[in-house]
Amino acid sequence: MAMKQLKATARATSGKGAAREIRRQGNIPAVIYGAGEAPQPITLDYNTTQKLIFAGHFLTTLFEIDVDGVKVRAIPRDYQMDPVKDFPIHVDFLRFKEGQLIKVDVPVHVLNQDASPGVKRGGTVNVVLHSVSMLVPPDNIPTSVDVDLTGIEINHSIHISAIKLPQGCKPVDTDDFTVVTIVPPSGMKDEEAAPAAAAPAAAPAKK
């Protein structure tokens, strides 16, 4: 994954009062923490940061942050929005070092539904997990977990072990959990249940 560049300014003070002042100046307060170093309060340009957040995939984007000429590699861990006006008011970045794995939630994408015999027969795609928590190298963050439905029939479940993941990436959950299933249509369920309901009861044994 390509690393994006982001400029920031170091700030000497932190706290709610300092953050409010930064917002009054039309900027966004933020902090970089992690990798065994002290948290570093910074200031971000409002327009640039808002565009990055609203563009999507912000929390899985790797940044090289230029803080007054000193470059820091980090990934956004969280951001806060104004509850009324819905604009960003704070960002947390996680600093990382070479060889470190980070935890990210990667969205699930379903591919090739038109190549699934189960879907063609009226089955419904049931996405059990819309995202998968994974441990990944910061420079190899997957944009999605791709589930290929080619050849998948009704009542078939696709587990995480059947999905090809990028090198160096692994799920946080070590169980072989279900990601997607093909559910039969309600009419088919009724048809399958009808013969069982219509079967005559066994005759009592003669004495």
Token couple for 28: 């966004």
CA angle 142, 143, 147 (to 5 degrees): 90
Token couple for 10: 């170091």
The end-to-end CA distance of the chain, in Å, is: 78
For the stretch 19-56, pLDDT in tens is 889 999 999 999 999 988 999 999 999 999 999 999 98
Q: 16 by DSSP, 3-state: which?
A: helix
Does the pLDDT value for residue 193 go beyond 50?
no
Domains and CATH numbers, the chain: 4-95 (2.40.240.10), 102-194 (2.170.120.20)
Count of residues in the chain: 207
- The model scores a pTM over 0.75: no
Average pLDDT over residues 133-144: 88
Nearest to 43 by CA among 77, 5, 10: 10
Average pLDDT over residues 66-88: 93
Q: What would you report as the CA-atom Rg of the chain, rounded to the nearest whole angstrom?
A: 25
**Distance of alpha carbon 64 from alpha carbon 81, whole angstroms:** 23
For the stretch 140-183, pLDDT in tens is 888 899 999 999 999 999 999 999 998 889 999 999 999 999 99
Does the pLDDT value for residue 192 go beyond 90?
no
